Structure 1
């Protein structure tokens, strides 16, 4: 889920919560019933937001983990190539030293 869709979902949830609250507050019902309904709906919206945050955090951690493993692979490849180059340089130097000794 990209950042825009996360913002869209959050905006939708906030709008839905505001609409529900306004509808409940203007409904002709007893105050205790209205408060119970409001409390129930707010609890549902809170749970939805917590689920959304959990999804976003797990997605971020997954992306971070993927980037980290890709970075480690690049570093390992570079290390192997550098070690190979050092071996080649050592071989060339020893070859040059043998020729100068003769």
Structure 2
């Protein structure tokens, strides 16, 4: 299983568990809706941050591979 699928699975499970806990808690409907909205926003931001981190790491690795390929191409064309 890839790391991305694992992260998404864990976040999904946490979100479902939090949602179930909020829905089953004995609060008024307005309070419950606010809690759901806040948790949803928190999870959305967390997921966005994780994807941004993944994108940045992947971009850096891709750029390093391109630089290495350009260096190798330059070395072979000089010889």
Alignment TM class, shorter chain as reference: over 0.9
- Any gaps of 5 or more consecutive residues in structure 1? 82-102
Deviation at 1:27, TM superposition (A): 1.2
Deviation at 1:26, TM superposition (A): 1.3
Runs of 4+ that moved beyond 3 A: none
How far apart are the structure 1 equivalents of 2:72 and 2:4? Answer: 31
Task: Calculate the TM-score normalised by the size of structure 2.
Answer: 0.93
Correspondence 1:34-73 to 2 at 5 A = 34-73=32-71
Correspondence 1:1-102 to 2 at 5 A = 4-81=2-79
Q: What RMSD over aligned residues (CA atoms) do the two structures have, in Å? A: 1.3
Larger gyration radius, structure 1 or structure 2: 1
Corresponding residue for 1:93? none
How many pairs align? 79
